[in-house]
Amino acid sequence: MMTRLETLELEKRNKVAIIYLNRPPYNPLNQKVFAEMSLLMDQLENDRDVNAIVITGKGDKAFAAGADIKEMAQLTDAEMIKMNKTSRAALTQIQNSAKPVIAALNGLALGGGLELALACDLRICTEHAKMGLPEINLGILPGGGGTQRLQRLIGQAKAKEMLFFGDVINANEAHALGLVSKVVPQEEFMDQVLAWADKLAEKPMLAMRMIKTSVNTGANLDLESALDLETTCFGVAFDSADRKEGMQAFMEKRKPNFTSR
């Protein structure tokens, strides 16, 4: 049974699940958001009718303009650590999901909002989107993986520049850094996001899972260990019914019917 959601909204379209951060207009992130995200990711992970996931924000102003500062300001140190653990668990679930996850940045993605996007596999944004990790201006630092995931994505020097200054960058700057894969006009935005998601949802899920495992885990290993992991993942995919079906369909010049999970 699907969890009743208060801060998120779920829509299913074909084999794609769309998760909306539902606290417009700026969709601030609080403890409830992360707790619901964790529960929802658990359910979607086991939903055989979902092969790809999109996370976006309600409205056209923000994906998520950061953490709910009003809530954070009232928390004790112990309560803040608890919230950090809750958010970290949810972001780790997104990163480690067997299914590809697209962050559709429909506006501001600041602080925790950008950290949520960084946990996703791919990021697409509108032309008016703006991104940044401005926590230093509040006397703190990103606590949801920003100091770690950002440098792995755009390199340490550029990550330090964004973290040290806390400045906000525009969509074109984010694209030039490799922070987002694609910048799309507002009027075409969700059509292009869903076109990517639909295409991903048709890919063989076992091979997709092995690719994510090889990339995500291998990034933290030495090269020889990472190559060993790749070989293991390749072996799992090669031994699957999907490999047989994919090669047979290629030779028969037809669309493959992938079934392995």
pLDDT for 73: 82
Segment 17-22 mean pLDDT: 98
Cα separation, 136 vs 167, whole angstroms: 10
pLDDT for the residue 83: 85
pLDDT tens-digit series, residues 84-110: 899 999 999 999 999 999 999 999 999
217 — pLDDT class (breaks 50, 70, 90): very high
Answer positive or negative: Cα dihedral of 229, 234, 239, 241.
positive
Q: Is the pTM of this model over 0.75?
A: yes
What is the average per-residue pLDDT within 31-47?
A: 95
The pLDDT assigned to 72 comes to 80
Known catalytic residue at 115: yes
Please tell me if the domain spanning 8-201 has the same topology as the one spanning 205-252. no
Per the annotation, the verdict on 188 as an active-site residue is no
Chain segment 46-80, per-residue pLDDT in tens: 999 999 999 999 999 999 998 888 888 888 888 88
Superfamily (CATH H level) for 8-201: 2-enoyl-CoA Hydratase; Chain A, domain 1 (3.90.226.10)
Q: State residue 261's pLDDT score.
A: 85
User: Domain spanning 205-252: which CATH class is it, in words?
Assistant: mainly alpha
Question: Residues 133-176: pLDDT tens digits?
Answer: 999 999 999 999 999 999 999 999 999 999 999 999 999 999 99
Token pair, residue 14, equals 């074909």
Residue of 6, 9, 115, 230 with catalytic role: 115
Q: Are 33 and 77 in contact (CB under 8 A)?
A: no
Cis peptide before 185, with omega less than 30 degrees from 0?
no
CA angle at 108 for the pair 8 and 83, rounded to the nearest 5°: 50
Question: Given pLDDT bands bounded at 50, 70 and 90, which one contains residue 212?
Answer: very high
Task: Provide the residue ranges of all domains of the chain, joining segments of one domain with +.
Answer: 8-201, 205-252
pLDDT, averaged across the chain: 95
pLDDT for the residue 67 = 83
Determine which one of 6, 71, 79, 135 is catalytic.
Answer: 135
2 pLDDT band, cuts 50/70/90, is: low
With a pLDDT cut of 90, the percent of the chain lying above it is 90
Q: Which of 22, 184, 11, 195 is nearest to 105 (CA)?
A: 184
